[in-house]
Structure 1
Amino acid sequence: MTPMLHRGLILADRWIHRLEVTCLAGGILLMALNTIINVFGRYLFAHSLYFAEELNQILMVVITFMGLGYVTRQGRHIRMSALYDVLPDRYKKGLMLLITLSTALTLFLLSYYAYAYVAQMARRGMITAALQIPLYWTLLVVPLGFFIAGLQYSLAFIRNLQSRDIFLSFHALDIYDESQPKESL
């Protein structure tokens, strides 16, 4: 891999990470603030915020789909690794390449379909009940989240191609720490 391409991948990864962290932290803080204000309004003034539930639903979508790329970046996604764990190391590398590439392609396909759905919602002109904003605005994060997760798996695929080690993501090395205490049944 050329140094320029490597720097470009690192720069893209940093930009995506900042976007994910900003959306996740902002979404969680805004959801907490919205809920707290709504509770105080309800119990102190006998009036709830009319849009609180709808805003929290929108924020839940944002947190879920931006969190998809974030957990992938961290190598913390759910994995079904029973077969993978028993394979010899030379086969694990090939399987990881297959997993990262096929998952990236699947996520890009889901991003495409989600974008088509959001575009259909935009054409229909539907608006949310309480906030009266276009419904498709609240759904734009769905194709974006799938796309970012697809990018993360693509970066993991590239990293696995260039390295002798096995990576779960661009940064997360696939290691099993024997020093961790085993859970008892």
Structure 2
Amino acid sequence: MAVSKFLDNIEEYFCVWTMAIMTVIVFIQVVMRYVFSNSLSWSEELARFIFLWLSWIGASYAVKERSHFRVEMFANMIKEKSRIYFEYMILIVWFAFSFFLAWQGTMLLIFLQETGQESAAMRIPMTWPYASVPVGCALMCLRLLVEFYKLHKNGLPAPASPAAEIME
């Protein structure tokens, strides 16, 4: 799937670059504060906003990597034949929740746009940091649709052994 490959690269590069930029900003802030006894007024706020974007886009990328936290105790108690339906149910509920967050995040953006709320230090519209929620959740919905398709086409993935995860 060309869309999935494009999405993989965009999310991965975005996460790497935002983490690098955030690290540099925080490092400069620490140096300014402890070496020069003067801090930048905008650096902590910008780092927080970057972290928001990193978290929500990273959550979408984590769907592809199957690295979200999972409690498999219940799934392991279900018979193998019924387990695929359990996985379908999980994906559907997860999709519904992500869609709900994307929808409500969009409603929040509309509200913030109407009120004209700005950030305290940088004076940018608060729609920019809060836009991470609907964007990340919409990307997560796309990822979940891809996972649903893979589950339908390929069946259940092979269970990963704990030793294989340690070796990676």
Structure 1 length normalisation: TM-score?
0.83
Counterpart of 1:123 (choices 114, 125, 135) is 114
Question: 1:177 — aligned with what?
Answer: 161
Contiguous gaps of at least 5 residues in structure 1: 1-9, 167-172
Distance 1:124 1:146, change over 3 A: same
Structure 1 CA distance, aligned partners of 2:14 and 2:114? 26
User: Which whole-Å CA distance do the structure 1 matches of 2:162 and 2:28 have between them?
Assistant: 47
Count how many residue pairs are aligned between Structure 1 and Structure 2: 165
Q: CA RMSD in A?
A: 1.7
Query: Which of 44, 50, 55 does residue 64 from structure 1 map onto?
Result: 55
8 Å contact kept, 1:23–1:62: no
Runs of 4+ in 1 over 6 A off after TM superposition: none
Distance 1:120 1:38, change over 3 A: same
Q: Taking structure 1 as reference, are residues 98 and 131 closer, same or farther at Cα in structure 2, changes over 3 Å only?
A: same
From the superposition, tell whether residues 81 and 33 of structure 1 become closer, same or farther in structure 2 (CA, over 3 Å): same
Provide, for residues 11-31 of structure 1, a one-character-per-residue CA deviation record: whole Å limited to 9, x for no partner. 111122122112211211111
Which SS does the other structure have where 1:14 is aligned? helix
Q: Secondary structure at the match of 2:113?
A: helix
Gaps in structure 2 of 5+ consecutive residues: none
**What is the alpha-carbon distance in structure 2 between the residues aligned to residue 48 and residue 152 of structure 1?**
40
Write out per-residue CA displacement over residues 88-131 of structure 1, whole angstroms, 9 at most, x where no aligned residue. 21111111112112211221121011111111111110111111
Does residue 37 of structure 2 align to residue 46 of structure 1? yes
For residues 65-87 of structure 1, the C-alpha deviation after alignment (integer angstroms, 9 at most, x for no partner) is: 11111111100111122111122
Of 69-78 and 19-28, more deviation after overlay is shown by 19-28
Q: Which amino acid aligns with 1:136?
A: T
Amino acid at match of 2:135: L
C-alpha spacing 1:178/1:66, structure 2 compared with 1 (3 Å): closer
Change (3 A) 1:23 1:106: same
More helix by share: 2
Cross-structure match for 2:146: 155
Secondary structure (helix, strand or coil) at the match of 1:131 reads: coil
Cα offsets for 1:30-87 (capped at 9, x unmatched) = 1110011112212332211111110111012111111111111100111122111122
User: Could you say which residue in structure 2 is the equivalent of 1:33?
Assistant: 24
Aligned residue in 2 for 1:132: 123
Residue 7 of structure 1 aligns with which residue? Answer: none
2:12 is aligned, of 21, 30, 33, to 21
The alpha-carbon deviation at position 178 of structure 1 amounts to 6.9
SS of the residue corresponding to residue 9 of structure 2 reads helix
